[in-house]
Structure 1
Amino acid sequence: MNIMKKVFLGFSALCMIAFVSCKEDASKKIEEANVAQAAERDAVASKFPVIEFDKKEHDFGEIEAKTPVETVFKYTNTGEAPLVITDIKSSCGCTVPKDWSREPLAAGESGEFTVKFNGSGTNKVSKTITVTANTEKGTETVKITAFVKPDPNAAKPAAAQS
């Protein structure tokens, strides 16, 4: 048993020497070029595109019910990385965003998309359009509003009899 303890202690000492010597070699392998490269990579990874709209809200004013209207939202990438819009959705099916580019938009370049509203609803109507992109937040929003007047050709409800 005594020999077993000596072998175990000898093996432990050998392992300690091996681990310590490996540790020193590993620290020598890190070169300044690698450190600089990693710093540059991390700096680039923290750069995001920034989408800036010409307007965040569009008011169609008064429109008659069931009258389709549309507007164009223009945007510019004011960030430091290419902007990619992956999706644009509305808060309801009565508002349809369309015609946006799915290609990367370089810093400083501009694009646009159209929003069509079918005129449904009554009185003050507000719809939110969510733009999903590779910005830092991941989503941006714009809004459309309108005051929808009743359709003059719609059947009037029968007057209550007294």
Structure 2
Amino acid sequence: MLKYLQTLALVAMLAVLAVSCQSGNNDVREAARENVEGAVQPANTTPAQPATPAAQPAVPAGPTTTMTFEETTFDFGTVNEGEMVEHTYKFTNTGSEPLVLSDAKGSCGCTVPQWPREPIAPGQSGEITVQFNSKGKKGKRNQKVTITANTNPPQTFIYLTGEVKPSDDAAAPAVTQ
């Protein structure tokens, strides 16, 4: 039983390490994921089941609409580690109901979106500005922003992609495009 608890604790620690946003090292995440998947289970036990199923985005209760982005992916090219990247995504409410954005979240704390809090009338446009802080992030990046709105499906995704080169200079200028 003690061996089982030790194995379970090790798997839990590796899982936390694998999903940690602060590491920024895809190799560490991949190694941890392989260790978790390859962990030996003690005999005569069944794998633990999650306490609750993964939350699925709820279908909006009220009327839905549609939104169309001018672009959903922005490639910022190559920047030095520590530089800030900012990009503004433009969208239009292409439906017949007011568009209400209820949330916008980056894939980690290094990707921060700012979105309009007021309803966007049909035919009108809005903007979402996303800032990416490359400090501690190296290599190829694909930062996802999840936008939740009264659309069907309720979530839309936009992306910032590019490469972050390692840098010794901690105070690099901001890149705005």
TM-score of the aligned structures, taking structure 2 as reference length: 0.58
Q: How does 1:1-162 map to 2 (within 5 A)?
A: 48-98=64-114, 100-120=115-135, 121-153=137-169
Distance 1:86 1:138 in 2: 10
Q: Post-superposition shift, 1:123? A: 1.2
Report runs of 4+ in structure 1 exceeding 2 Å deviation: 45-48
- How many residue pairs get matched? 109
Deviation of residue 103 (structure 1)? 1.3
In the TM superposition, what whole-angstrom CA distance separates every residue of 1:120-155 from its partner, at most 9, and x where no partner exists?
A: 31110111000000001111000001200110447x
Query: What is the CA–CA distance in structure 2 between the aligned matches of 1:86 and 1:62, rounded to whole Å?
Result: 32
| Distance in 2 between residues matched to 1:132 and 1:97, nearest whole Å | 12
Indicate conservation of the 8 Å contact 1:47/1:79, yes or no.
no
**Structure having the higher Rg:** 1
Amino acid at match of 2:83: T
Greater share of helix residues, 1 or 2? 1
Quick check: 2:62–2:150 contact (8 Å CA) kept in 1?
A: no
- One-letter identity of the residue aligned with 2:139: N
Q: Is the 8 A contact 1:47 1:80 kept in 2?
A: no
Partner Cα separation in structure 2 for residue 144 and residue 128 of structure 1: 7
* TM-score normalised by structure 1 residue count: 0.63
CA RMSD after TM alignment: 1.8
The code of the aligned residue for 2:90 comes to K
Residue identity over aligned pairs, in percent, reads: 44
- Residue ranges of structure 1 left out of the alignment (5+ in a row): 1-44, 155-162
